Structure 1
Amino acid sequence: MNFLWPQFLWLLLAVPLLVLLYVWLLRRKKKMAIRYASLSIVRQAMGPGQTFRRHVPPLLFLLAMVAMLIGSARPLAVVTLPSNQQTIVLAIDVSGSMRAADVQPSRLEAAQAAAKSFIADLPRTVKVGIVAFAGSAQVAQLPTTNHEDLNAAIDSFQLQRGTATGNGLVMALSTLFPDAGIGIDDFAPQSTKKGVPIDQSGKEPKKEFKPVAPGSYNSAAIIMLTDGQRTTGVDPMDAAKMAADRGVRVYTVGVGTVDGETIGFEGWSMRVRLDEDTLKAVANKTQAEYFYAGTADDLKKVYNTLSSRLTVEKKETEISALFALGAAVLALLAAGLSLFWFNRIL
C-alpha cells in the first residue's frame, strides 16, 4: 500500500500515548474510588463480564482513531474497477486459409462465432468496430453499439487471397482516429506518395504528432485475429509502432496450425503457417498480450478472457474514504455499546 501524504503517518505515534493515558486514568480513578468494606460485594454486583466490557468501547474508539489517522495519509491500493474502454476494433483475417477445417467447423466460422460471443458479453456502452483484411483491408463496420449491425457485418465476410496483417492494423487505427489522416500512404516512400512528389502534392502538411507512452491510451484497443504470415502490404511491426506511438494496445490472437499446413481449394493449393513470433512482437510492442487458439473452444476462451480484461481494469486508487467509513462505524459502535452497557458514552 502506498500513500499520497505519508508524512501524516507520524501521527500514529500518538496512539501509544493514548493507550498510556487510558491506563493512567484507570489507575487514577482506582485510587480515588470510595473504599468499600467488602470488595467481593462490589465484584459480585458488577458481574464477571463487566470488567472486560468496560474496556471494549475505548478499544473500539482507539481503532477508529487509527483508521482515521491512516485515512488522513491518503492511502492508495490496486483495486479492480470498471474500465473506461469506449471503443474496440476487431481486425479479423479473411484470407483463403481461414477456410481450413483444422479448427471445426472451419477457422473462419469459429472466428465468427467467437467474435459474436465476445460482442454479446460486452457492455452496451462499448462501441465495437470491425475490420476485415486479406490482401487488403476494409472497414466492415464502423464503431457502433448496435450488436445486430455488428453480427451482420461478421456474417458478411468473404474470403480473399493474400494476408496483409499490417494493413489490417493500419485500417483499425484509422477507424479509431478518423481525423488523424492515418492511411497506407503513410508507409509509402516519402518522395513518391501516391506517385506525386510531396512538394507538388498541393496538400497541407500534417500537424506535428507527438508520440505517447505505449499502452497509455485507455479509451480504445485493437484485437487482431489471423492464421497466417504476412504475404503483402505494410510490415506489421511498422503498423505496431504506429499503434504504440498512439498508446493503443493491440491484442493478437493466432488461430490454426503453428507448424504449417498445405491447404487446397478449387484446383489451387497454398502453404500456411502461423507467424507467432510476429504476433507476439506486435503485442509486446503495444504493451498488450498474444493468445494462441488451436481449437474452437480455445478461441472462445480467448475472447472470454479478452472481454473480462477489457471491461474491467486494475488501477491504483485512493481509498481514504474506506478508512473514513471504517473509523465512523467503529466510533458509532463504541458509543452505542457504551450507552447500552453503562448508560453513558465512553
Structure 2
Amino acid sequence: MIEFTFTNGHYLLFLLILPFLFLIHFVALKTQRHRALRFANFDAIARIRGIDFFSKNIVILVMTLVILFLLVLSLSGLNIIRESEASPHSFVIAIDSSRSMEADDFSPSRMEVAKEVAIEFIESAPTDTEIGIVSFSGSALIEQELTTSRSLLRDSLESLEISRVGGTDIYDAVVTGSNLLSGEKSGVLLLISDGQINVGGVEESINYAKIKGITIHSVAMGTEGGGLTTYGLSQIDKKSLEAIAYNTGGNYFDASDRNSLLASLNDAFENSRMKVEIEAREYLLIIVIILFVLEYILINTRYKILP
C-alpha cells in the first residue's frame, strides 16, 4: 500500500494555474495560425508548409506543464509512504500469569489457551522475526530473550504456569518487555491479559513505553460474563488495556474465544508492518532538471523556430 502526504500542502493550489496555461497556449496558437493565413507571399507559405505547428507546440507544451507540475509537488513537500512487505519489527509477547488467568471461560483455562495460541502465532510468523516471551503477575519475568529459534520459544511457552505471586503488575510487564526490545530498530509489545490491573499504574506504563519508543498492542482475553477461578468469578477490564494500546500507537483487540485470540495476534502483527517514508523533493528536482535540459535541446534543434 502506498500513501502520499505533503509537508506544505497549501502550495498545491499552484496546480490550478496549469489548466489556464493549457488554454492560453491553444488560444495563442490559433491566433498565430490565423495571422499566418493572411500572408500575401504564398512562396513564404510554401516554405513553412512542411512545418506542423501543432505537433511542434504540443510537445513543448506538455514538457513545460510536466516541469511545472513536478516543481509544485516538490514545493509542496511530497512524501511517499509505503508499507514493507515483511515486518521488520522485533516482538515481545507478554502473557498475564496471574490467578485470574485460571478462569474457565476459555477451555480449559485462559492461560492454557493463551499459551497454545501464542505458539501458533510464533510458528506462523516469518522465520527471521525475533520474538521474546515475558510473563507477569505481581512482577514480570523474562521467560525467553529475543530469538528466532521457534523451539526455544515453544519450550518457554509450554512451561508457563499460573504464578503464585499475587497481583497483576502491568507496569513491570511494560518495563521488562520494553527493556528486552531496547536497542532494536523497532519494537512491538503484544500484551495478553484480562486487564485486571491492581499493581502498577496505566499512566506510568504509557509514559515508559513512549520514552522507549515501543508500540503496544493489547488483547483483552475473556468473555463478557467472565469465568470461574479458585477464588471466585473473574471478569475482564477493557479500559486499562484500551488506554495502553491507543496511547502508545498500538491497537486494542477483544478476544472472547480461541479463534478471536489468534486473529487478534495476527492482526496485531499485520498492523505492525513498518511504514517507510521517502522524501520525494530531491528526486522530483532531478527529474525537473533533466526535463528542462531536454526541452532546451529540443527547442534549439528539432523544434527550432525558423526566422
**Normalising by structure 2, what TM-score?**
0.70
AA at the equivalent of 2:214: V
Which residue of 2 is the match for residue 165 of structure 1? Answer: 169
Q: Give, in whole Å, the separation in 1 of the partners of 2:28 and 2:143.
A: 78
8 A contact 2:67–2:288 mirrored in 1: yes
Equivalent of residue 258 in structure 2, options 274, 286, 296: 296
8 A contact 1:98–1:227 mirrored in 2: yes
Which residue of 2 is the match for residue 69 of structure 1? Answer: 71
8 A contact 2:104–2:227 mirrored in 1: no
Which residue of 1 is the match for residue 46 of structure 2? Answer: none
Matched pairs, number: 289
Which residue of 2 is the match for residue 138 of structure 1? Answer: 141
Q: Give, in whole Å, the separation in 2 of the partners of 1:294 and 1:145.
A: 29
Q: Which runs of 5+ in 2 are unaligned?
A: 44-48
Which residue of 2 is the match for residue 222 of structure 1? Answer: 189
Q: Deviations over 1:3-38 (max 9, x none)?
A: 45977986985885576456535543553467779x
User: Identity of counterpart residues, as a percentage?
Assistant: 25
Q: Deviations over 1:148-187 (max 9, x none)?
A: 3222222221223434232322322332349xxxxxxxxx
Equivalent of residue 156 in structure 1, options 145, 156, 159: 159
Q: Which runs of 5+ in 1 are unaligned?
A: 38-42, 179-216, 339-343
Q: Give, in whole Å, the separation in 1 of the partners of 2:116 and 2:303.
A: 65
Q: Give, in whole Å, the separation in 1 of the partners of 2:242 and 2:15.
A: 49
Which residue of 2 is the match for residue 244 of structure 1? Answer: 210
Q: Give, in whole Å, the separation in 2 of the partners of 1:241 and 1:11.
A: 43
Q: Give, in whole Å, the separation in 2 of the partners of 1:164 and 1:313.
A: 33
Pick closer, same or farther for the CA change 1:304–1:51 going to 2, 3 Å.
farther
Which residue of 2 is the match for residue 102 of structure 1? Answer: 105
- Residues 151-300 of structure 1: pairs in structure 2 closer than 5 A: 151-161=154-164, 162-166=166-170, 167-177=172-182, 219-227=186-194, 229-231=196-198, 233-263=199-229, 268-300=230-262
Q: Deviations over 1:74-93 (max 9, x none)?
A: 53346333398543221111
Please say if 1:318 is aligned against 2:255.
no
Please say if 1:2 is aligned against 2:33.
no
Aligned-residue RMSD, C-alpha: 4.6
Shift of 1:236: 4.5
8 A contact 2:103–2:226 mirrored in 1: no
Q: Give, in whole Å, the separation in 1 of the partners of 2:64 and 2:83.
A: 32
AA at the equivalent of 2:217: Y
8 A contact 2:191–2:216 mirrored in 1: yes
Pick closer, same or farther for the CA change 1:78–1:115 going to 2, 3 Å.
farther
Q: Give, in whole Å, the separation in 2 of the partners of 1:228 and 1:10.
A: 52
**Normalising by structure 1, what TM-score?**
0.64
SS at match of 1:311: coil
Shift of 1:252: 1.6
8 A contact 2:95–2:134 mirrored in 1: yes
8 A contact 1:63–1:330 mirrored in 2: no
Pick closer, same or farther for the CA change 1:3–1:283 going to 2, 3 Å.
closer
Which residue of 2 is the match for residue 196 of structure 1? Answer: none
Which residue of 1 is the match for residue 118 of structure 2? Answer: 115
AA at the equivalent of 1:80: R
Q: Give, in whole Å, the separation in 2 of the partners of 1:144 and 1:53.
A: 64
